[in-house]
Amino acid sequence: MGKQLAQSFMAALILCGSMVLTAAPDQVLDAEGHPALRKDLQVSEAGEKKVKALSSFAEALAIAKEKKKITPEVIDGLLECLRYDPNAAEPLQLLLSEWGKAKELKDCTERLLPLAQANPSALRLNVVTASVLKQSGRDAEACTLLEKSLDSLNEKSMQEQPFADLVLILSELYLDAGRWEDGDRLFSKAFELESWRNDFTLLRGALIFYGRASLAAPDNDGFWFLFSSSREHCKRLFEKTLTRLEDLCSKRYYPAGDFIPILEICRETGQAERGRDFILENILSSPSDINSLSFLATFYYEDGDYNNSLRLWQRIFHKNKLNPVYYYELGRSALRARQYRDAINAFEWFLISNPDHPGALYQMGLAYFEMHMYWKALSKFSKLESPEGLYMAAISHRELGQFVDAASCLERAEKLARENGREDFLNKEFYLSYAFICEKAGMLEKGTAPLVKILAANPQDDEVSNFLGYTWADNDVNLDQAEQFIRNALKVKPDEAAYLDSLAWLFFRKGKNKEALETIEKALKREDSIPDSVISDHAGDIFAAAGKMEKAIHYWSLALTNYSEDTNQDKIAAKITANGGTPPPYKKFK
């Protein structure tokens, strides 16, 4: 601020001369305290106002320099300058800077609005005031202000940059108000002018207007040309504007960041590929432009094309290995492209300069997890004091068979989520995982208690009903209530193989072998040719109880070779051997 004040102060001195601050011996002050012009000088009324404006500006800056801050007295002086010269840029800039820092939008609008209303042809003042009104939610007032300003403009004013700013803000207001025809007329008026016909920023604004209007406008109003709806008309103009922008971008280079709004509207309107082509054109114009390459890599990533994103980040990385951000983005894309070793290498380099970066630690942990390197994954997740990090630490402990440690991590994750108001994190999936882990840790009641609460609030949740019913049946507890929960699940999905298996297993636990056999056969009919490992294991036990040993060994063998963490391979192999069979070769995962 000090530098800005000094520069403005010097500018005022140069413009005004010493007469602004110190009256010459033969000068007198006018009634308002400003240096009066000598009567023998012929100065127009406009010129006299300009002098008074500069005088007010210089005086305000002198006070600011003395006080080393913008005081209310300085603000009054800057506003007085604008009253004399509403087109003055420097006072307006200083006022906005001060009000912006203080976040005093109301004061800003109340003091600028009368000035803007009194001077509709002062484009910059009206555009700034309308912008502040829009930020304050006073769209109707902003719209009226800009429309009056637009009506007051002459052809010369419409060649200046503030005119383009007016068009862009007013088009946003029209869009929000659903005034499609007014927005269309506004852009038509702007593009009639030679100076704006091929202006990138204005064409981009038109593209956004027509694109969003084509999604929101009525489809059956016949508003334009009698036979066309507002939506169809806007679609045609969107396509026309997009083609004009494509032609413009094929002829010259634009900074990559300028394309962000274009990409967003192209995505919204289902034209993502054409949006991508804008960046490709840029890269062809400037193949060594890292910004454009980065932009395209990010676009591919956000579009789910992780392999192309990874290839581009690798290319960028080879051009500049000193920027840590490139290591991070390379790792992120490699992880999503399932190139886990590449992801780990990239994050390792990134963490050298950012050792505590939670995003890098978490994603590096995920890469190790996907490579089944659970101890390595734990070494990263354990550094994160976040619900997500603790949850993945729990899952890593689970994969290592450390169920007590896993349960402890989930309890810490739950506590942390509650402390941070992250109730969304504590969803059904979280508590299903918690129940599974607690059961394995020998804490059945503790793990199932949250599920009972979930069902009390939502008894129609078939997934939780089946999970809780099966868990109780598998542990031979609360069998009658377990049966009710499983039957509730089957009411929602009567043909779900997993739910039928749960009911068959419950019958088996109750000693109802006939019902168990009938139900497991229904479940098997609804499964693939190779059933789920748990269903196969249950089928083997139920067929064995029914004296159908050949079938029992067949299904036990399927369960043995089709691994699941919910089955015990050694126990299944022992059952096959005990009943005269030969266990097939199987790989032990834990």
The greatest distance separating any two alpha carbons of the chain, rounded to the nearest whole angstrom, comes to: 126
Find the angle CA(235)-CA(237)-CA(242) to the nearest 5 degrees: 95
Say how far apart CA 237 and CA 224 lie, in whole Å. Answer: 12
In terms of Cβ atoms closer than 10 Å to its own Cβ (0-12, 13-18, 19+), residue 2 is exposed
Q: Which of 502, 462, 460 shows the shortest CA–CA distance to 482?
A: 502
146, 166 in Cβ contact below 8 A?
yes
pLDDT in the model for residue 223: 53
pLDDT in the model for residue 136: 86
Which H/E stretch holds residue 413?
Answer: helix 403-419
- Entry pTM: 0.67
Residue by residue, pLDDT tens for the chain (590 residues) are: 444 444 443 343 333 333 333 334 444 455 555 555 445 545 566 666 677 767 777 777 777 777 777 777 877 887 888 888 888 888 788 777 777 665 666 777 788 899 999 999 999 999 999 998 998 899 999 999 999 999 998 888 899 899 999 999 999 999 999 999 999 999 999 999 999 999 999 999 999 999 999 998 887 765 555 546 888 889 999 999 999 998 888 888 888 788 889 989 998 999 888 888 877 777 767 777 788 788 888 888 988 999 999 999 998 988 888 889 999 999 999 999 999 999 999 999 999 999 999 999 999 999 999 999 999 999 999 999 999 999 999 999 999 999 999 999 999 999 999 999 999 999 999 999 999 999 999 999 999 999 999 999 899 999 999 999 999 999 999 999 999 999 999 999 999 999 999 999 999 999 999 999 999 999 999 987 778 899 999 999 999 999 999 999 999 999 888 877 788 888 999 999 999 888 888 776 55
Burial profile 500-509: b = 16 or more Cβ within 10 angstroms, e = fewer: bbbbbbbbbb
Q: Which of 343, 307, 311 shows the shortest CA–CA distance to 327?
A: 343
Chain center to CA of 168: 24
Say how far apart CA 587 and CA 584 lie, in whole Å. Answer: 10
Q: Tokens in use for 467?
A: 């999970």
Helix/strand/coil for 162 = helix
Helix/strand/coil for 412 = helix
Q: Which of 115, 71, 117, 113 shows the shortest CA–CA distance to 94?
A: 71
Say how far apart CA 329 and CA 320 lie, in whole Å. Answer: 13
Torsion angle of C-alpha atoms 256, 262, 267, 270, degrees rounded to 10:
-130
Helix axis angle, 444-457 to 462-474, nearest 10°:
150
DSSP 8-state assignment for residue 218 = -
Say how far apart CA 284 and CA 282 lie, in whole Å. Answer: 5
Q: How many residues does the chain have?
A: 590
138 Cβ neighbours under 8 A, 6+ residues apart: 109
Q: Where are the alpha helices (DSSP H) in 85-199?
A: 89-102, 105-118, 123-135, 139-151, 161-177, 180-191
| Cα distance between the two ends of the chain | 65
Say how far apart CA 292 and CA 309 lie, in whole Å. Answer: 13
590, 560 in Cβ contact below 8 A?
no
Strand boundaries in 224-279, DSSP class E: none
